[in-house]
Copies of this chain bind each other. A is one copy, B any other.
């Protein structure tokens, strides 16, 4: 077993909890069966062990260097891009005819967990290339696809997404980068973008930016944004490359993920930057949301993978480190006896179980979302596609945010298991602690995700997504009730569902009354509330599948493995689920304390 991941857990989730077979039945995935999925998982672990994990700390220490417009990253980035290209990891969900392997998203998510647990940073280079290539595939024309995508899939060219501008931040309405039609049909691009991951580096021949800009005269706000392909180097008629006036003005040095370059780019400083419109004008944000939605799921995977690695590292340490003694019934410690390993201390066990509850709960949710992604794209049945789409929409902000937020707590508990050593650079926990902090920021902060969840997803199609989710949860409650000892927990989940309805009733009343600011003012609290219940649901599912295996003795991994699923579910319901009590009280509280009033000077 690797030091950073337990693939048995992932296989259990794929096959026994989330029935990957449902997805493998889809015509698109006809070439995959359960065994093929397991082979993929095993080979991903092998790849991660050999190609990723050994460089994880080194790449962090190397960092990223900026010198006169050039960005120097660890050479491993280039090697990994090429390896990923050779192994078909970039664009592996593409059609066979486009050079892909039509791999299901459920499998890709599992592989993402394994590989990101080994190294959460370096995969951003390949992941963004995949995302950018997908955008071109979905909304670009065939000529654009042929011009850019094959080199991206080969790992020779880097892909990026360029949204954020210095003056706008998350407020995409305020993007100012301009695009002006030129005689040859391309657009002259001028503007600045910041926080562009992989926006420049010395390990690829070219960089293909998928960039949001405004065509002159376009409507104000998000309805006037178009999507462009803007390569660092243009491709000339003869196939050779020509500099396209994309200048890297600086690198943001960061607390974590130090191996990922995060650039400030200036487009068209010398009026010589060409961009190619993707799809229709003014539809750029809609297109980009495909990439952003995928990226949000990916960030969730990144976050839970960091927490996963931290969990396994702290578990290993707790099993090896001797310190202190268990409390005897007298309350005294017998100093004549030797020390025990710290895994015997209840507080350490609590910290380990908390991590497992957060991490495996998050992996389970990520796979659930990936399943809906597969079905929503590839089911032959339209109704099924729509239902899966709704579920994916409502779960996406949670799948991104729960691991980003609770993953931080989880990693911090892992660090705490190491005591003072956790704070030193002798162990990787401090790196995990630094790395994971970004996940609540990029691809939409927690605040943005929470407004998306409550303001858009809960209310979309007259609450269709919310109803669909409630129906899924209800199914899981009924299944759990088959087993006598799971009944009390299923009952708690049912009660929490009811409380959620009450809370939503209260919040919706503000929206109905037209007070949207009030409606969304505690969206982040609602996110914490709802996501805790959603992860409780995942644990009920895991415990039910585990119980089934125990009762039928149809066990792939040994009785302890299954008992531990039930144990961790119980832990979640004792230590995490009760948080919803306080969160609900906050949400139902009528005092208005965070909305600015004209007369008040709360921050005088």
Chain A interface residues toward B at CB < 8 A = 164, 167-171, 173-174, 194-195, 220-222, 252-256, 262, 315, 318-319, 321-331, 333, 335-336, 339, 343-350, 352-353, 408, 412, 415-416, 419-420, 422-426, 430, 433-434, 437-438, 440-442, 445-447, 450-451, 455, 511, 514-517, 519-525, 558, 560-561, 563-564, 567, 570-571, 574-575, 578-583, 585-586, 589, 591, 593-596, 600-604
A-B residue pairs in contact (CB < 8 Å), sample of 7: A168-B323, A173-B325, A255-B430, A331-B516, A353-B593, A420-B442, A423-B441
**Contact partner of A604 among B511, B523, B558, CB < 8 A?**
B558
Question: Would A511 and B420 count as touching, CB distance under 8 A?
Answer: no
Report the Cα distance A570→B415, complex, angstroms: 34
Check if B255 sits within 8 Å of A319, measured CB to CB: no
Q: Which residue of B lies closest to A408 (CB)?
A: B412
- Contacting pair A419 B349 (CB below 8 A): no
Residue of B nearest to A590 (CB): B574
Contact between A350 and B524 (Cβ–Cβ < 8 Å)?
Answer: yes
Pair B336/A220 contact, Cβ less than 8 Å: yes
Contact B517 A595 (CB under 8 A): no
**Whose C-beta in chain B lies nearest to the C-beta of A324?**
B171
Residues on the B chain within 8 Å of A517, using CB: 326-327, 329, 346
A438 partner residues in chain B, CB cutoff 8 A: 423
Flag if A603 contacts B441 (CB, 8 Å). no
Q: What are the residues of chain B within 8 A of A583 when measuring CB–CB?
A: 578
6 extra A-B contacts, CB within 8 A, seeds A169-B419, A579-B579: A168-B323, A222-B335, A255-B433, A350-B522, A420-B441, A578-B582
Least CB distance from A348 to B in Å reads 8
Closest B residue to A405 by beta carbon equals: B412
- Best-surrounded residue of A318, A416, A575 (most CB of chain B within 10 A): A575
Question: A415 to chain B: which residues have CB within 8 Å?
Answer: 437
Task: Give Cα A222 to B324, complex, Å.
Answer: 12
Chain B residues with CB under 8 Å of A416's CB are 440-441, 445-447
The smallest beta-carbon distance between A551 and chain B, in angstroms, is 19
How many Å lie between the Cα of A325 and that of B581 in the bound state? Answer: 32
Known contacts A416-B440, A560-B604, A586-B578: A347-B423 contact under CB 8 Å: no
A450 to B253, CA, bound (A): 37
Given contacts A420-B164, A591-B570, A594-B346, are A323 and B521 in contact (CB under 8 A)? no
Cross-chain contact A329 with B514 (CB below 8 angstroms): yes
Q: With a CB–CB cut-off of 8 A, which chain B residues contact A523? A: 347
Query: Which of chain B's residues have a CB closer than 8 A to the CB of A327?
Result: 516-517, 520
B589 adjacent to A347 (CB under 8 Å) = no
Question: Are A603 and B315 also in contact (CB < 8 A) when A420-B164, A594-B350 are?
Answer: yes
With a 10 A CB-CB cut-off, give which of A194, A515, A602 has the most chain B CB atoms.
A602
Contact indicator A323/B170 (Cβ below 8 Å): yes
Contact between chains at B171 and A423 (CB < 8 Å): no
Least CB distance from A433 to B in Å reads 7
Shortest distance from the beta carbon of A340 to any chain B beta carbon, whole Å: 9
A479 to B476 CA separation, bound complex (whole angstroms) = 51
Residues of B within 8 A of A558 (CB): 604
**A171-B323, A347-B524 known; A352-B252 Cβ under 8 A:** no
How many whole Å from A197's CB to the nearest CB in chain B? 11
| Contact in complex: B254, A424 (CB < 8 Å) | yes
Across the interface, which residues of B come within 8 angstroms of A349, CB to CB? Answer: 594-596, 602-603
Residues of B within 8 Å of A173, CB to CB, are 324-325, 333, 335
Contacts of A582 in B (CB 8 A): 578-582
> Are A419 and B596 closer than 8 Å at their CB atoms?
no
Contacts of A328 in B (CB 8 A): 516
Interface contact B575-A324, CB-CB below 8 Å: no
User: By CB atoms of chain B within 10 A, which of A255, A412, A433, A521 has the most?
Assistant: A255
- With beta carbons under 8 angstroms apart, the residue of B434, B521, B524 that contacts A255 is B434
Beyond A441-B422, A516-B331, A596-B344, is A170–B324 a contact (Cβ under 8 Å)?
Answer: yes
Name which residue of chain B comes closest to A558, CB basis.
B604
Q: Is the CB of A330 within 8 A of B516?
A: yes
Contact B424–A602 (Cβ < 8 Å): no
Q: How far is the CB of A15 from chain B (nearest CB, A)?
A: 20
Q: How far is the CB of A567 from chain B (nearest CB, A)?
A: 6
* In the bound complex, CA of A574 to CA of B592 (Å): 10
- Chain B residues with CB below 8 A from A350, complex form: 521-522, 524, 594
| Residue contact B585 to A347, C-beta cutoff 8 Å | no
